[in-house]
Amino acid sequence: MQPYATWKYVLLIIVMVLGGLYAAPNLYGEDPAVQIATQSGDALANDFGDVVGKTITEAGVKAKLSVLKNQQWLVSFEDEGAQRLAADALKRAMGNDYVVALTTASKTPEWLRAIGAKPMTLGLDLRGGVHFLLEVDIDDVRKKAVERYLTELPAFLRKNDIRYTGRHQSADAVLLDFADADKLSAARSALAKEYSELMLTVLPNAPLTLEVKMSVTEAKRIVDFAVKQNLTTLRNRVNQLGVAEPLVQRQGQNRIVVELPGVTDATQVESLLGATATLEYRAVDESDANLAASSGLVPADSELFYTRAGHRPVLLKRDIIAAGSQLVDAASTVDENGSPAVSVTLDGSGAKKMFEFTEKNVGKPMAVLFKEREVVTNYNAKGEPMREHRDVQEIISIATIRGVFGKRFQTTGLESKEAHDLAILLRAGALAAPVDIVEVRTVGPSLGADNIRRGFQAAVLGLVMVMLFMVFYYRVFGAFAIAALVLNIVLIIAGMSIMSATLTMPGIAAMVLTMGIAVDANVLIYERIREELRDGQTPHASIEAGYDRAFLTIADANVTVLIGTLVLFAMGAGPIKGFAITLALGILTSQFTSIVGSRSLAYLVFAKRKLKDLPIW
Amino acid sequence: MRIFAKVPNINFMAQRKAGLWVSSLLSIGVILMMVLGALHLGRNLNFGIDFTGGVLVEVVYPQSVELDSVRNDLKAGGYHNPIVQYFGGTQEVLIRLAPEEKENSSAISASVLQALGAEQKGVQLRRIEFVGPQVGDELTVNGSLAMVFAFIGIALYIMFRFEWKFAVGAIAALIHDALMVVGFLWIFQVEFDLTTLAAILALIGYSNNETIVIFDRVRENLINQRKGTIYDIVNLSVNQTLLRSIITHVTTLLVCTALFLLGGPSVHSFSISMIVGVIVATYSSIYVSTGLAVALGVSREDLLPPETKEIDETP
């Protein structure tokens, strides 16, 4: 028998060493840690580490390790007590501009981290946390776009001296009426030139009406833009929550996944994710609001609102002095009386307008209007979702203007938690379109730990049973197969760690399943070797024939399993993707370990011996 | 260890027609059973909330609890048709609420816990999942599409590597296996969730293993043995690969049993589906895929390299 090529042994050894190295971080476990990042996501200052170090030392805690990782400062500690003390100290010292979150840091030693080795990411089902699936309301996006065109197009026509006699809005189109066909065609050509993204049609049953619709690509672009903006806003909001390693990701055309490891109270987060709260500062119309409320007659330049406390009617001027969009910063704080407040900083134009207004109106009242749009999903008799928007518009405070101010001021009239949430919402920006929460999965930490323990036990039991069976049935060759199997598991773990793939409970199931499938390759080879022996071939020739002939068969069989996993990967989300990745990886590595791995061992042991029979029976 | 001293010589193909009949009748029977069951008994597959939408709550009681008392607590709390079952032991309880009973997606966790009297009784929330019906509907569509794509992909691959008659046989076997597993899940009302779907898709790939091993051997024997009818060669091939099939299934069954015993309730339906599927696949690889390919008239010419090459090789 030809000895197995040296380069194959070398390759095998390299793979074993690399596999071992990159799988190793998973053995080290984790330390409690604190993670600090800027609120805005900006880079940390150069001397930031010193500041952190000093704060922690002053708190009387000893840090184990303090490093910069992905724009975040990560400090690990010996125990959770130290972690909590340090986190409290850091929160106090850093203030509102930084996010301080509790997390864990891998105990992977420096030399392993230097080569890029890191542990696998655990899915939410293994470490606990909340998973949200949000759906962006596309209809609302389209409707808003149509509304925008409804004001923009007539303005454009007026500018070009083209008279129209009427304008209205249908579900997804703007309709413009004209007095005669000439005007219509003039408008049509002018609009076509300026707005290439619009489709202009004259309806057959109304020859003097021009129907203006967005082209399919434009409608798609608008939705895409809104989803991307929402993604940014949600990311900002999530960053403010102070959760370690959050995930905000687009899924499909109009869905967004938010995963928050370690969070177990979904309620608290949910209101913050979907909310579209903002503030408006308006002048108070001092005419009789009670009369307006009872008669329904509201002055033309005013609107009627109610106060949150006491539900009292108040008339506010339509003109907005400053709105949430002009806000550059907001922080929750307490006012001089100790009641909760939001401290607000306006941008240049907002500050200027506020300054001008307050200058002229000292002694007069100004109101803060709180606007929130909630999406409520109800289900009809057929179980179909019916989405309803509920607009909340309340006056949260009316204060007399005591002096001139511009850029910075405080808003009161909120409860403590509200002030906190509102500050976050104002800071993170408004959502471009309302979102609806279509899926929430919360996994408690104890369940996650249980899943890991169970998965591990099942894997060990599976391995031991397969091991016993293979050694009992195939003797020495069974041991080769087991060695290959163990290497295969190490390679799966290494591969997942390198790819930063997420390990989920179905992923563990896939790993266990892979053991069964990987061993299959060896069974195929060994049965073949036995067959050759029965046919009277020499032991050496049998080994060679067994491995050579089985190779393609194994590859063929593996490809069909891969097709199944590929489909799963394409359609699946979350845990199922984890299953598909793990299974696919396991099958690919098994093609190497079961064949090259076990063959190397067989050749190493038997190639140079004189044999009458093989210890395969 | 030797089970057979030499390659067994069982005339599998003698029963191929009977085998095909049995499989066809079984498949049709399963479909009829499920359709009629759904129409007349209102018994559907036990779809999990991944597919139906709704709310699922898993809680742990500090000591064993009667399901009826949990049900009563929930009814008193305003949940009219809760599905309550043990999940693992008699302390772990799984509660499923239909989608229309949903209030605010997350406020429900608080109100369910309140209904259960969680604070007084020390009930601990382990997980709560809310799935909107639109997501479930989508998954049903995507899941069915995934199966179809898997079938098409595998069929194309087998056509490319072997021959269309084999591809037809293989796909028939896959559909047969999937039907048997789904039928089993239906009879025993095992929960059909996303992981179960994953198991079935993995199984579709895996059960095909046997088929391919047999096909591969048929091709090899056709090339090596000039004598013998296609019938003899298929029989020989099935016999030659029989042991390997059995052994492989033993190892796969071992790991799936380990998962079933120790993997906890979240992989229960996964491991059950795999176990049933693997057992069914042994039979279907012989009688459905190979049997059908023979019935379709697979011939020597179908699998041999082109004629011209053979002439070149003959001196």
The full set of domain ranges for chain B reads 12-40+135-304, 54-131
Distance (Å, rounded) from C-alpha B236 to C-alpha B286? 12
Choose from B151, B160, B266 for mutation: most chain A CBs within 10 A. B266
Choose from B3, B209, B245 for mutation: most chain A CBs within 10 A. B209
**Mean pLDDT, chain B, whole residue set:** 84
* pLDDT computed for residue B102 by the predictor: 47
Select from B53, B107, B255 the Cβ nearest to the Cβ of A516: B255
CATH class of B12-40+135-304: mainly alpha
**Closest-CA residue of chain A to B154:** A560
Whether A534 contacts chain B with CB within 8 A:
yes
Side-chain half-sphere of A76: how many Cα atoms within 13 Å?
16
pTM: 0.80
Per DSSP bridges, beta strands A302-307 and A385-400 are parallel
Structure tokens that stand for B87 in this block: 């999940």
* pLDDT computed for residue A386 by the predictor: 59
* pLDDT computed for residue B313 by the predictor: 46
Secondary structure letter of residue A381 according to DSSP: T
CB A419 within 8 A of CB A340: yes
Structure tokens that stand for A350 in this block: 């907002």
Side-chain half-sphere of B136: how many Cα atoms within 13 Å?
22
Whether A617 contacts chain B with CB within 8 A:
yes
CB A592 within 8 A of CB A555: no
CB B288 within 8 A of CB B172: yes
Q: Which residue has the tokens 């490809």?
A: A559
CB A341 within 8 A of CB A333: yes
What values do phi and psi take at B85, rounded to 5? -145, 160
Whether A12 contacts chain B with CB within 8 A:
no
Chain A: give the shortest CA distance to residue B314, in Å: 24
Secondary structure letter of residue A193 according to DSSP: H
Amino acid identity of residue B199, one-letter, is A
* pLDDT computed for residue B30 by the predictor: 93
* Non-local CB neighbours of A481 within 8 Å, separated by 6+ positions: A470, A474, A519, A522, A523, A526, A594, A598
Choose from A136, A269, A270, A439 for mutation: most chain B CBs within 10 A. A439
Between residues B104 and B93, the one the model is more confident about: B93
Chain A: give the shortest CA distance to residue B135, in Å: 7
What value of ipTM does the predicted structure carry? Answer: 0.86
Biggest distance spanned by C-alpha atoms of chain B: 92
CB A278 within 8 A of CB A286: no
* pLDDT computed for residue B99 by the predictor: 65
User: Considering only residues 237 to 296 of chain A, which have any Cβ-Cβ distance to chain B shorter than 8 Å?
Assistant: 264, 266-267, 270
Fold classification of B54-131 is Alpha-Beta Plaits (3.30.70)
Query: Would the CB atoms of A560 and B264 count as touching at under 8 Å?
Result: no
* Non-local CB neighbours of A170 within 8 Å, separated by 6+ positions: A211
Per run of 10 residues, the mean pLDDT along chain A (length 617 residues) is 82 94 90 80 78 86 82 85 86 76 83 88 87 87 83 85 86 87 88 87 86 88 87 83 83 88 78 75 86 83 85 87 76 81 82 87 86 63 59 82 81 76 73 81 86 92 94 92 94 93 90 88 90 88 89 86 87 79 93 90 85 79
Give A517: exposed, middle or buried? Use CB within 10 Å, 0-12, 13-18, 19+. Answer: buried
Structure tokens that stand for A186 in this block: 């003039």
Closest by CA to A148, choosing from A76, A212, A236, is A212
- Of A317-326, B124-133, B306-315, which one has max mean pLDDT? B124-133
Chain A: give the shortest CA distance to residue B149, in Å: 7
Query: Would the CB atoms of A520 and B264 count as touching at under 8 Å?
Result: no
Scanning A300-414, the segments in alpha helix (DSSP H) are: 348-360
Choose from A137, A470, A520 for mutation: most chain B CBs within 10 A. A520
Query: Would the CB atoms of A564 and B204 count as touching at under 8 Å?
Result: yes
Domains recognised in chain A with CATH numbers: 6-24+445-606 (1.20.1640.10), 29-107 (3.30.70.260), 139-219 (3.30.1240), 275-442 (3.30.1360.200)
Query: Would the CB atoms of B105 and A564 count as touching at under 8 Å?
Result: no
Secondary structure letter of residue A160 according to DSSP: T
Chain B: give the shortest CA distance to residue A484, in Å: 15
- pLDDT band at B3; cut points 50, 70, 90: low
Select from B153, B197, B216 the Cβ nearest to the Cβ of A556: B216
Distance (Å, rounded) from C-alpha A594 to C-alpha A589? 8
**Closest-CA residue of chain A to B151:** A564
Structure tokens that stand for A539 in this block: 């032991």
* pLDDT computed for residue B82 by the predictor: 84
Closest by CA to A148, choosing from A156, A159, A136, A137, is A156
Side-chain half-sphere of A8: how many Cα atoms within 13 Å?
14
- Residues in A closer than 8 angstroms to B135, CB to CB, are 133, 438-439
- pLDDT band at B308; cut points 50, 70, 90: very low
For the CA atoms of A272, A273, A276, A281, what is the dihedral angle to 10 degrees? 40
CB B202 within 8 A of CB A561: yes
Number of A to B CB contacts under 8 A, please give it: 244
- pLDDT band at B183; cut points 50, 70, 90: very high
| CA dist A76 → A23, A56, A62, A172, A246 (Å) | 22, 11, 9, 55, 19
Structural element, H or E, at residue A390: strand A385-400
